Structure 1
């Protein structure tokens, strides 16, 4: 009986939002190592320029902007298509968070978090699906969410709500798009030692971060998902470090 083999990513084209640091940046390096070509977006132009300098203009194309803008997501997809002729994968990774009770954060902070985490994902997916339908072969959508989308903590209700929204979105999209050959995968890491975690309430150098996942752990999972044969769908993947309590 024939057995399933891993799918080569050599020459495939990936778009990644929130790519300037953390999980997004680690994913760029991992996927380029696997042979992919990657269009990257984020608000920090200098960080994206560093990635391009490290990996080469032939392998990475940057688009600077805010994922909350639908036009930014269209521009990201267009940059990939203009440079490499197609898009095979969208990694909707951009996200922000903050710890605190329901009354602890100001209106602007909560609005930015909800719009970035949920609407930013919606706009990324819409831009990718338009392109997938304009070309042959389907594609992959990976939504980077969080285990908080299944079990929010006591000090992260609004953040957990945005992640729960991503969980519902990805599950529905999988049922909507699978017949078109578009796989939708939801990746939900537990706490990860990134600037995101530090800026959202943890302290740099905190012993708490020692037990966290590393960005490279999540990037590896994204790579494994894409290397699966096209006949396989993962749908949901939760990640915990061996030291974290579930």
Structure 2
């Protein structure tokens, strides 16, 4: 008899995804909808979000524009998912920004925005999702899109790496806190990915180097695999690199 892996289907699940207007977030939305899921999408760019909703179909997606640094925005995102589909199964905390440069090279406003978006934005997104998981019962999945920078850092990304290190600590601690309730917390930690990330702040649009990086679809595929694992399995952290990148 052929072995059939006891995967957990995405079909019928409801997810919220932050940072969904482009890059990894948009790719994750497409991957989950392709697998039969429904998605509530958040980002600051309303026009792009609406374009993605039109692409995915109004029955499969809803958009809530706003800033993850605002706890009320995250509550509104979860509420939109529950209002439209009656429940929440998955939280993908993906929103983030970055810039390359030494500790004295980046201005204070950018550094503050980076720290608040990457770390506090993740905290508020997860908090809103966990509140809903507890209200409805039955557990759920939290996926935090972090970075290999959270483990190794780099000479020109200290503050960014610090925010990703904070996400790694948050995710591991939350998984230990919440697993008895059936809530899994998984860290997806990609190396450099060919997105709009840091374009004009250390990366150049159209650079041939981007072709050597992971693609957003690579990361979205990893998110889907992680979510499809049976409930008996937890992936606390998954680092991934393209075949052309140095680890």
Place the TM-score, normalised by the shorter chain, in its bin. Answer: over 0.9
Distance 2:176 2:227 in 1: 19
Distance 1:203 1:161 in 2: 23
Could you tell me the TM-score, scaled by structure 2's length?
0.97
Counterpart secondary structure, 1:196: coil
What is the CA distance between 1:49 and its match in structure 2?
Answer: 0.6
Q: Deviations over 1:132-182 (max 9, x none)?
A: 000121000000000000011100000000000000000000100000000
Partner of 2:192: 191
Distance 1:122 1:71 in 2: 12
Q: Do structure 1's residue 136 and structure 2's residue 104 form an aligned pair?
A: no
What is the CA distance between 1:199 and its match in structure 2?
Answer: 3.9
Partner of 2:176: 175
Distance 1:197 1:97 in 2: 5
What is the CA distance between 1:244 and its match in structure 2?
Answer: 0.1
Q: Deviations over 1:111-145 (max 9, x none)?
A: 00000000000000100010000012100000000
Distance 2:140 2:8 in 1: 13
Partner of 1:83: 84
Deviating above 3 A after TM superposition, structure 1's stretches of 4 or more consecutive aligned residues are: 1-4
Could you tell me the TM-score, scaled by structure 1's length?
0.98
Counterpart secondary structure, 2:218: helix
Distance 2:9 2:212 in 1: 32
Q: Deviations over 1:47-67 (max 9, x none)?
A: 001111111111001000000
Q: Which runs of 5+ in 1 are unaligned?
A: none
Over the aligned positions, Cα root-mean-square deviation in angstroms equals 1.2
Query: 2:97, 2:198 within 8 Å by CA — same for their partners in 1?
Result: no
Distance 1:70 1:213 in 2: 31
Partner of 1:22: 23
How many residue pairs get aligned? The number is 246
Query: 2:18, 2:93 within 8 Å by CA — same for their partners in 1?
Result: yes
What is the CA distance between 1:198 and its match in structure 2?
Answer: 2.4
Q: Which runs of 5+ in 2 are unaligned?
A: none
Partner of 1:163: 164
Partner of 1:232: 233
Query: 2:43, 2:64 within 8 Å by CA — same for their partners in 1?
Result: yes
